[in-house]
C-alpha cells in the first residue's frame, strides 16, 4: 500500500482557493491568522516573502509554491521593503493591461483539522521551486491551474480546488523526496520503519505485537523501537493505538456501530475499545457517532 495515499484518504484532503488575482504597483499580502494550512502560488511575475525570523526576505518567482502548514506569520510584497499601509491595485487574474504578479491563494483543509502526520512532516515555511528538477508533474498541474484561473469558465472554482489537491500531493512528494532528516520523510527512508508503517496501515485491526512487527521488518525489537521513535516521535505500538483511534473516529462518523468499529480496530470487546477511544480522543465513541464533538 502507498502510505501517503493511505494517509490522504484517511484525513480527507479538501483544498479551497479563496483568491486568485493580479497584484500591481506597490502591494503587500498577509493571510496570517486563519488557523488553517495556507498556500500561495506565484503564477506569474515575482514577489518577496517576509518572515519575522529572517532578516532578509526570500525571492519567489513564477511557478514557486509557498505552503504554510501551521499558519506561520508571513507577508508577501512587491519589494524587499514592503510598503506600510499600502492599498494594492488588485486586478483580475492574468490581466495584461498592467505590470504585476499573479497569485493564487488557498487553504489545504483536512476533515480532522491540522493535526495529522502529513502536515506534521512539513516545516513552518515550505517553498517548492517550480523550476526544481523532477517537478515536471507539478509544473503541468500549475500550468493547468493558471489556465483555468485566467479563463474563469463555469465551474472554475471547483476545478481550482481539485487542482489544488493535486498540487499539495505533488508538493508533499517533492518534499519527501528531498528531505531525509526527521519525521515522516525519515521514516519513509528507513526500510524497517517504512515497512512497519505499511503493515499497520494495511491491517490496523490485526493483533499486532512488537515481536511480530519487528520480525516482519527484519530488525530486533529494541532496534525497531529505537528507529521508529527517532523518526516518528513515539514507539510503534503507541503510533498503532493512535492510528486505530483516528480510523475509529472516521468510521463512527460514517455511521458504523460501536461494535463494528471495535472489531475493525482489533478489540475483543466494546468496553475495552470505548476506554481506549476516550483515553486517546477525550470523547466516548457513542458521542462521536451521534455527531457530538
pLDDT tens digits for 217-255?
999 999 999 999 998 889 999 999 999 998 999 899 889
Q: pLDDT confidence of 18, banded at 50, 70, 90?
A: very high
Report the pLDDT value the prediction gives residue 25, as an integer from 0 to 100.
Answer: 87
The whole-angstrom separation of Cα 193 and Cα 203 is: 16
The DSSP 8-state label assigned to residue 203 in this structure reads -
- Which set of grid coordinates corresponds to residue 13? 484532503
Q: pLDDT confidence of 162, banded at 50, 70, 90?
A: very high
Sign of the torsion formed by the C-alpha atoms of 129, 131, 133 and 137: positive
The whole-angstrom separation of Cα 232 and Cα 197 is: 10
- Which set of grid coordinates corresponds to residue 273? 475499545
pLDDT tens digits for 168-203?
999 988 888 776 566 788 888 899 999 999 999 989
Q: What DSSP element (H or E) covers 59? A: strand 58-61
pLDDT tens digits for 204-213?
999 999 999 9
Q: Which fold has domain 185-289?
A: Arc Repressor Mutant, subunit A (1.10.10)
Q: pLDDT confidence of 141, banded at 50, 70, 90?
A: very high
Report the pLDDT value the prediction gives residue 158, as an integer from 0 to 100.
Answer: 94
Q: Is the pLDDT confidence value at 1 over 70?
A: no
CATH code, residues 3-179: 2.60.120.10
Q: For the chain, how many helices (H) and strands (E)?
A: 12, 10
Domain ranges of the chain: 3-179, 185-289
Contacts of 213 (CB under 8 A, 6+ apart): 196, 199, 200, 224, 236
Report the pLDDT value the prediction gives residue 180, as an integer from 0 to 100.
Answer: 59
pLDDT tens digits for 50-104?
998 777 899 999 999 999 999 999 999 999 987 666 677 889 888 888 889 999 9
Report the pLDDT value the prediction gives residue 2, as an integer from 0 to 100.
Answer: 78
Residue 112 phi, psi (nearest 5): -95, 15
The whole-angstrom separation of Cα 125 and Cα 70 is: 9
Q: pLDDT confidence of 289, banded at 50, 70, 90?
A: confident
Q: Is the pLDDT confidence value at 111 over 70?
A: yes
Top pLDDT among 6 and 51 is at: 51
User: Whole-model pTM?
Assistant: 0.81
Give the full edge-to-edge strand order of the sheet including 58-61.
Answer: 28-29, 75-77, 46-50, 58-61
The whole-angstrom separation of Cα 176 and Cα 182 is: 10
- Which set of grid coordinates corresponds to residue 275? 476506554
The DSSP 8-state label assigned to residue 90 in this structure reads E
Report the pLDDT value the prediction gives residue 181, as an integer from 0 to 100.
Answer: 60
pLDDT tens digits for 249-273?
989 988 999 999 999 999 999 999 9
Q: What DSSP element (H or E) covers 77? A: strand 75-77
- Mean pLDDT, rounded, of the chain: 89
Is 40 within 8 Å of 112 (Cβ atoms)? no
Amino acid at each position: 500500500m502507498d502510505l501517503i495515499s493511505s494517509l490522504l484518504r484517511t484525513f480527507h484532503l479538501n483544498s479551497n482557493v479563496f483568491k486568485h488575482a493580479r497584484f500591481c504597483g506597490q502591494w503587500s499580502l498577509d493571510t496570517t491568522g486563519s488557523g488553517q494550512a495556507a498556500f500561495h502560488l506565484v503564477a506569474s511575475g515575482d514577489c518577496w516573502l517576509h518572515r519575522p525570523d529572517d532578516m532578509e526576505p526570500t525571492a519567489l518567482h513564477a511557478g514557486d509554491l509557498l505552503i504554510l502548514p501551521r499558519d506561520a506569520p508571513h507577508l508577501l510584497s512587491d519589494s524587499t521593503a514592503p510598503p506600510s499601509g499600502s492599498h494594492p491595485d488588485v486586478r483580475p487574474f492574468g490581466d495584461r493591461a498592467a505590470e504585476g504578479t499573479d497569485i493564487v491563494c488557498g487553504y489545504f483543509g483536512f476533515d480532522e483539522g491540522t493535526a495529522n502526520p502529513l502536515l506534521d512532516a512539513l516545516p513552518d515555511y515550505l517553498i517548492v521551486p517550480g523550476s526544481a528538477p523532477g517537478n515536471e508533474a507539478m509544473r503541468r498541474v500549475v500550468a493547468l491551474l493558471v489556465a483555468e484561473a485566467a479563463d474563469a469558465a463555469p465551474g472554475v472554482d471547483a476545478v481550482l480546488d481539485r487542482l489544488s489537491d493535486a498540487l499539495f500531493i505533488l508538493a508533499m512528494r517533492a518534499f519527501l523526496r528531498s528531505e531525509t532528516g526527521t519525521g515522516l520523510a525519515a521514516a519513509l527512508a528507513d526500510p524497517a520503519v517504512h515497512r512497519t508503517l505499511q503493515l499497520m496501515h494495511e491491517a490496523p485491526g490485526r493483533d499486532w505485537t512488537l515481536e511480530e512487527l519487528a520480525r516482519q521488518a527484519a530488525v530486533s525489537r529494541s532496534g525497531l523501537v529505537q528507529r521508529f521513535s527517532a523518526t516518528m516521535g513515539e514507539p510503534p505500538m503507541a503510533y498503532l493505538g493512535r492510528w486505530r483511534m483516528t480510523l475509529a473516529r472516521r468510521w463512527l462518523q460514517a455511521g458504523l456501530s460501536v461494535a463494528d468499529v471495535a472489531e475493525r480496530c482489533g478489540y475483543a470487546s466494546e468496553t475495552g475499545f470505548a476506554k481506549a477511544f476516550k483515553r486517546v480522543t477525550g470523547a466516548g465513541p457513542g458521542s462521536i457517532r451521534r455527531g457530538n464533538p
